[in-house]
Structure 1
Amino acid sequence: MKLIVCHWVFLGFICLSRSQDDNDNVRRIMKEMEVTPDILEEPPRELLRIKYENTFDIEEGKTYTPTELKFQPRLDWNADPESFYTVVMICPDAPNRENPMYRSWLHWLVVNIPGLDIMKGQPISDYFGPLPPKDSGTQRYLILVYQQSDKLDFDEKKIELSNADGHSNFDVKKFAQKYEMGTPVAGNIFQSRWDEYVPELMKTLYGVNE
């Protein structure tokens, strides 16, 4: 019996240590990649776990191709099943990091998510993956989770994927302040650069060739 108790105590200690390491990592990576204080005043409280295609987990700061990121990912964080959340994905480097005149480009926005069940949330902007221009270099992509005070009435109109104006110059800080959501409870950041999928996505969304 004592061995079983010790085993569970040891496992609990390991989990707490990993959780603390993840929390330290999110603060570090947000500072290293100049998210704080340039885009966010404070880093997310915990590292958001992101899985694409149910095959690979996003490593914070790593670079992936638009082809790898084309489908909506699965997200995991320490959610309260009785609370509601907002998920937002932005690119602060549109059209490129040196001249981010469209900061930030909105790639995904879902509100009123009960616990972890994003499919039961209210989509304001459906997911579409990175589409960095061919000569734009590497762009950052940020996914954030905010905890809401309750299920809220959002007065934002649904943004169609083909409406570029609705996606450009999205101010995530103002949005969070408007609905009194405070600091994001979870977040992660990765990078992407042009590949052959970008022209296909541009044609699908906007009917234009890159």
Structure 2
Amino acid sequence: MKKVSTSTHCVVPDPPKAQNRDSLALPLPLQRICQAFIIACTAQQCLDNASDCQENAISCFVRPYSQVIQNRCQVTCNTCDCRDEAVGCATSIAFCHDAAVEPLVRDRCQKTCGFCAGCGFISRGIVPSVVSAAPSRRVRVVFNNVQVNCGNTLTTAQVASQPTVTWETPLLTNLTVHDSERPGFNTTAFTSQFNLGYPGCSMSTALIACLVALLLVISGMGQQCMDSASDCAANAGSCFTRPFSQVLQNRCQRTCNTCDCQDNANDCAALISICQNPTFEPTVRDRCQKTCGFCAGCGFISSGIVPLVLPTAPSRRISVVFNNVQVNCGNTLTTAQVASQPTVTWETQPNAMYTLIMVDPDFPSRASPLPGQRLHWWVINIPGSTVSSGTTLAAFQPSTPAANTGLHRYVFLVYRQPAAINSPLLTNLTVQDSERPGFVTTAFVSQFNLGFPYAGNFYQSQS
């Protein structure tokens, strides 16, 4: 008999009373997404699909058995909410046991390759409220012989003293925080700032990278972004053309506008040999943009869009044209120039579907923005880059910033969908104008497992 968990792949809250609808924490557009998602989610039960799960429970997190056991014994291994962070994991399953690419598949294909930590980070809402992806290893935390165990309840007396904390390949560090600095700590901002990548991706390597990054920041203060070659202007047309971009983007940073480009993984130098391998392009394009020359050169980091709107920069540019006026990575356009719906296109993959989002993170002003972003356009299930054939959840709304609120950044983002977002997930998702403020791009991306941003662009405007 199949063992059935009392919980499902998601946490289902009690239905809110009608009079309390406005008191919910999420903005209404996201409430609707969550409610629709719950309908689909509750239809799927978490099961053990084997009769020997209990006797093999000890191997849930032991390689190579974990790849099989975590999928056959989801209840026993507590991996019901485990998921892949990449679209193409099923086609890369042959690399799950390849030590050379383990850091990649451990972060990107936890479910397919059996690298789940089984700690319920998603079902308990820690993803995406604290981090954007679940760790693939557990930290061992012990308070006076009382072990922390993935959400177990402990009394304040049990956790009164400093615990013993260990993990695979431990490394001591000295990062002191004063009590007055504790409120307002932003985990994703820190990990993005110091390029720590996904949680659990070899913590010792991550901490070393953090310390190295600090040294580089200190030693690099005052240095200008420079071209290190004399032929950059002559080769500028190849800044984003493969395979030349891998060399040009590093030798001609100023010309290619890739000064703020960075890798999103700590081991890219060791993976440089696969930069030109088509099999690994989706992975290295997202994780090793600087090393492999996949930078979009659009200034998402230097402009502050990363990490304010999203944790990593896109590796492609979206072509956005308003009546023959081109959006060009932060150029300033007048409200008259951007008054009508633009033509938007991007490089596409065969048989792929995409989501297009346009947001203003500076509403009502850059000096005093509201939490989240103001949603200006939202289309899902776009075949290729034919936006008109997608499903519009929020119709295009021109940028009309209020007077005396300074420049606003208007950000276009495209995400590749793992699959079509179909009914019942499409039920009542149309966004009213009053619901546009407070949209959270990362929450939507995490909810539907969209992964890294596929492409992007932005302009600035003010009244």
TM-score (norm 2): 0.37
Q: Output the CA distance in 1 between the equivalents of 2:446 and 2:374.
A: 18
Q: How does 1:1-210 map to 2 (within 5 A)?
A: 17-19=239-241, 20=245, 24=258, 26=296, 29-53=299-323, 55-101=324-370, 103-153=372-422, 154-155=425-426, 157-160=429-432, 163-164=433-434, 166-194=435-463
SS in 2 for 1:176: helix
Aligned-residue RMSD, C-alpha:
2.1
Task: Return the structure number with greater strand share.
Answer: 1
Amino acid at match of 1:32: S
Per-residue CA shift, 1:23-44, capped at 9, x if unaligned?
9464551011101122211101
Amino acid at match of 2:420: K
SS in 2 for 1:36: helix
Q: Output the CA distance in 2 between the equivalents of 1:107 and 1:150.
A: 24
Q: Output the CA distance in 1 between the equivalents of 2:393 and 2:411.
A: 17
Amino acid at match of 1:157: L
SS in 1 for 2:306: coil
Residues 325 and 337, structure 2, Cα contact 8 Å, conserved in 1: no
Residues 240 and 296, structure 2, Cα contact 8 Å, conserved in 1: no
Residues 345 and 386, structure 2, Cα contact 8 Å, conserved in 1: no
Runs of 4 or more above 6 Å deviation: none
Residues 363 and 370, structure 2, Cα contact 8 Å, conserved in 1: yes
Q: Output the CA distance in 1 between the equivalents of 2:359 and 2:393.
A: 14
Residues 26 and 44, structure 1, Cα contact 8 Å, conserved in 2: yes
Amino acid at match of 2:240: R
Q: Output the CA distance in 2 between the equivalents of 1:28 and 1:126.
A: 25
Which residue does 1:201 correspond to in 2? none
The 3 A distance-change label for structure 1 pair 86 and 28 is closer
SS in 2 for 1:189: strand
Identity over the aligned pairs, expressed in percent? 25
SS in 2 for 1:93: coil
Q: Which has the larger radius of gyration?
A: 2
TM-score (norm 1): 0.78
Per-residue CA shift, 1:73-98, capped at 9, x if unaligned?
11121112411000000000000001
Per-residue CA shift, 1:115-162, capped at 9, x if unaligned?
0111000000000111100110111110000000111123461113xx
The 3 A distance-change label for structure 1 pair 180 and 61 is same
Amino acid at match of 1:38: L
Amino acid at match of 1:158: T
The structure, 1 or 2, with the larger RCO (C-alpha pairs under 8 Å, 6+ apart) is 1
Q: Output the CA distance in 2 between the equivalents of 1:151 and 1:79.
A: 16
Q: Output the CA distance in 2 between the equivalents of 1:157 and 1:171.
A: 15
Alignment: residue pair count: 178
* CA shift for structure 1 position 102: 5.0
Amino acid at match of 1:57: Q
* CA shift for structure 1 position 99: 0.6
Amino acid at match of 1:118: V
